[in-house]
Amino acid sequence: MKKIVKVRNITIGDTTKICVSITDNNIKDIIKSFNDFQKLPIDIIEWRFDYFLYSLTENIDTILDDINFILSDIKKINNKPIIFTLRSKDEGGDFLLNKDNYRYLILFYKIIIESKYFDIIDFEFFNIKYKDLKSLVLLTQYNNIKTIFSNHNFNKTPREKEIISIIKKMISLNCDIVKIAYMAKTKKDVINVLNAYYRFSDNIPIIAISMGQLGTITRIFSCAISFAKVENSLSNNLGQIDVIKLKFILDSI
Which of 17, 80, 146, 152 is catalytic? The answer is 152
Strand partners, 147: 121
Three-state helix/strand/coil letters over the chain: CCCCEEECCEEECCCCEEEEEECCCCHHHHHHHHHHHCCCCCCEEEEEHHHCCCCCCCCHHHHHHHHHHHHHHHCCCCCCCEEEECCEHHHCCCECCCCCCHHHHHHHHHHHHHHCCCCEEEEECCCCCHHHHHHHHHHHHHCCCEEEEEEEECCCCCCHHHHHHHHHHHHHCCCCEEEEEEECCCHHHHHHHHHHHHHHCCCCCEEEEEECHHHCCHHHHCECEEECECCCCCCCCCCCCEHHHHHHHHHHC
Beta strands 10-12; 5-7: pairing state: antiparallel
Known catalytic membership, residue 152: yes
Which of 17, 80, 146, 179 is catalytic? The answer is 179
Known catalytic membership, residue 2: no
Catalytic residues: 152, 179
